[in-house]
Structure 1
Amino acid sequence: MSYILNRDLIDYTENHKDPMIKSVNLILSQFSDVDRQVPSEYHWLFSSVESITEQLKSLNKNDYKKMNSIYWNDQTSNIEAYCYMTLWRSIELIKSCINGLNTKETIVPAIATRSLLEISAIFLLNANILEKTFAELEFPSKTIVFSTEVEGLVTKMIWGTRYGKPEEHLIQTNIMTSLQKVAKHPNAKALMPTYEFLCDIAHPSFIGNTSYWSHIEEITCDNQEKRVMSRLTNRSFNDDILDKTIWSLAWSSGCIKNSFEILMQANKEVREKLKAS
């Protein structure tokens, strides 16, 4: 399936006054380029604590470069795996959203983009933190370099959860905390209002119900309204739902693409620093 909206939606978005909605087709095209370049299967080289210990045991105690390589190759391998997991998850949601929009569904695309906003916010924060950290990372001669902060973040990125009773270091950050951090950026002013709107659609609440309110067919002599409710695709739609869904699709797709590229490049630079050390 391609990342292309149907003709009606292309016309609707290209003539829209909101810059983010107007740019959705270009953003989806750019995201599609990334999707074509990534594998559909990835071999994750994972090292447990026991494996790391065994690898280090076999080294000369003065082989600092090799020790650093074992530690940082493990971190970058985990980060790369996280990048693919996050991208693949996003691809499923984006395709589901596009398919729903193209067939004039409202609820499923809205809920999918709500999830995309959550994923993109966390992905963006993690990418920015690691990019900054890795840019400052150095490997001085005869020095073992490690980072408990990077290790903790990478662990939470992959294994973090709020389900059940996880250990303290695995408790995932509350999604609202991440969204509110991102929303402080001047270009993300619409993020929180849009997210809260989409949450109301996901819940059994008012906005989701309005998706099926088509139009008022008649007002009776005693001032009652005959309201047409419909699930037909030719009904009158709630434009707010459509606009906020498309805005979220565009914003999330762009953030996820950028975050993926930022982290993959940061990983590459760490590995190059290791080789040069």
Structure 2
Amino acid sequence: MSEERVGFFTDTSVCIGCKACEVACKEWNAIPEDGLSLTAMSYDNTQALGASTWRHVAFIEQPRPEGRTELPLAQGESTAQETPVGGDGELRWLMSSDVCKHCTHAACLDVCPTGSLFRTEFGTVVVQEDICNGCGYCVPACPYGVIEQRPHDGRAFKCTMCYDRLGAGREPACAKACPTESIQFGPLDELRERAALRVDQLHEAGVTDARLYGHDPDDGVGGDGAFFLLLDRPEVYGLPPDPVVTTRDLPAMWQHAGTAALSLLGGLAACFALTGRGRR
């Protein structure tokens, strides 16, 4: 990579569920309409990431934790209030704008037979739709279930982190459109530092469930290029709690297969040698 690695930090504590990121993503990337089907369980009308949904705003309704009504702002003075709440009828919305994680160790890259998927100079992972042959190997390879094939031609699509905009020195459309700066874009190392400070701020304000997800370079995917501040367990947001790159064990598997093949060849050679001796 010739450029500094960039990424997304999504602070879900200030997401208001406006879906401006979804709209901006579709408009800039000319992504087709995908049904807008309500789940009948929430105001979520896109349901999940897919070939025609590169940004997905999740709405999770749950009982409000006792002891707090407001979160501190991302910048400036804290507005947190210690107001006893909770009990019957008290609910809160957890909102989060999900996106492709642009993994450091991306399994989709490992399994792509045509080179359609590639790592850009910004450290992001992009699908070249004109090279994709629709084999679908990348779909089960993704530990997050992000990438998907479009049914009419079988080609795979996902977030490109607006690769064309990055090349022109512009930030991705979703981050540009976010009115609360829930979606922050920039150099990945700077975002990780900023995220750690934000978690500390929330903990000091009494929001003890605040945690980072996908920020650790030592996790099962080598750290994500798009990571999150969550207010509950990852499973609540539909995220795997401990994602692991699905091609992690491929080298060991090939080594075992090679050892087995050599053992088989050795056994066959011994059989032929013994057969030859018997005929003599």
TM-score of the two chains, using structure 2 as the length reference: 0.24
Instruction: Indicate the structure whose relative CO is greater, using CA pairs within 8 Å and at least 6 residues apart.
Output: 1
Structure that is richer in helix per residue:
1
TM-score of the two chains, using structure 1 as the length reference: 0.24
